[in-house]
Each structure stands twice: as structure tokens, then as C-alpha cells.
Amino acid sequence: MNGKPVAVITGASRGIGRATAISLAAEGYDIAAIARSVNSEGMEILGSEVEKRGAQFFPVGLDISCTVCQMEVVSNILERYGRIDFLVNNAGVAPLHRKDLLEMTEDSYDRVMNINLRGPVFFAQKVAREMIWLKSQLQGYKPSVIFITSVSAELSSPNRTEYCVSKAGLSMASAVFADRLAKEGIRVFEVRPGIIMTDMTIKLTDKYTELINEGFVPQRRWGLPEDVGKAVASIARGDWDYSTGMVFEISGGLNIHSM
């Protein structure tokens, strides 16, 4: 059985997932990195960065929306390492096309909800069951689960309704998991990014840059994936062990209500 703690990150090949995996590798975690394709350039880059930090790298292919595929992935990680200490539910997508609420299609809604909400909820369920069992097997075992949501859990965008609804649902899922798993000794947290420079936002660089410069984001800069990775690393170190259910907003002050 592996002596080092093991972190599982979904959507690990780029953006927030990649930065989070690298931050956790620096904290002493071996990394099981989940992405739809394990042969992408992004996974190659991530593997190199993780191994530079003295951690093992285990690339795992999974479409998170395929709930019937999830248990095999969990079993493969446990077979390799014998433990899962930290789960970061990060995988998510935006709508393929931004459309007004009144023109949103059922296909787009179902796609986003399956990837952003249904898949992560059932993956967390499967991992949580194993974490409960592992607590009886591993001395000093202190597992945690993180849901990466978005400020869109609260901020309305009528041209991407399905995304907002999925993140609002995932925010509640985080609260429910925290409530249920507290008695099991498993801490659950929500990390809520704001406007972060990733592949998801790059097509809207000019729009968001203008908003940021005008003060929409009080700190007047883009968020970086590394900003989110550092927050996750702080949780992984155990800095917030008495704060299960906490929402950490990494948004440059978008959470501030001002007149």
C-alpha cells in the first residue's frame, strides 16, 4: 500500500485542473490525473510537471459523464495506490454555443448537466464510499473532497443558463456531501473560481478584460489557474480541517456587495 497521500483530480489536463494537480504534487501528493484522453499534449505536460516535484503520476482516461465507467476508474486507482486521500471534482464544460435562455436546447442542457453535475455527484459518491472504508484501514487517514464550482453558481448569465444551473446544483451538492460525510470524518469544501484565464474564457478575452479594467473585478486583474491551485493546496495541507462545508471564492472580490 502506498505510503504517500494520493490526490485524484478530474479534468486534469489543462487549466484549473492542471494547476491544481501541480500544486498538490508540490504538497507531497501522488497524482491520479483524470481526463477524457490520456494521450493529449496537456497530459504529457502535466506528467512532466508532477514528476519534477517528486510525485508519481498516474494518467487515467474517463468521460466523467459516463457514470457506469466510474467505478472501474476508482478501482484502478485503488489497485495502484491502495488509497485515495483527496478528490478534486474539477471537470466541467461550457455550452458549445451561448444562446439566450429562451433559445436554449434540451441537448445543450443535458450535455452540460451530465458533465458538470450528474457525473461529479456520482463520482464523489463512489469515492466517498471507498474513503469511509479506508478510514478503518489506514492510521491517520484524513480524507477530503473538493467541488470546483463557479461564481456562476450565484451570478446569472441568461446566455448560458445551463452552465449557471449546473454550477448552482454542484454548489448544493457540495453542501449536502459536507453534511452527510462530516460524521464519517470526511471534510468537503467548495472552491468557487471567478473570471479565470483558461480555455473556457479565452474566446471572451476582450470582453472580460474590458470588464476587469472597468472595475467589475475589484482587484482589477484576471484570475489565474494557479490562484485556484494555491487555494486547493491550502485545504490539502489541512489548514481548514475545522471548516467542512466552507465555500472558498477565488474571484478577486466579485463576492463583495458594494454600492
Catalytic residues: 163
Check: CB of residue 30 under 8 Å from CB of residue 6.
yes
Residue 118 corresponds to which cell in the numbers above?
A: 450528474
> Nearest CA to 138 among 74, 196, 57, 82?
82
Residue 228 corresponds to which cell in the numbers above?
A: 485556484
- In angstroms, the first-to-last Cα distance of the chain is 56
Residue 19 corresponds to which cell in the numbers above?
A: 494547476
CA distance 69 to 63: 8
Phi-psi region of 114 (alpha: psi -120 to 50; beta: other; left: phi over 0): alpha
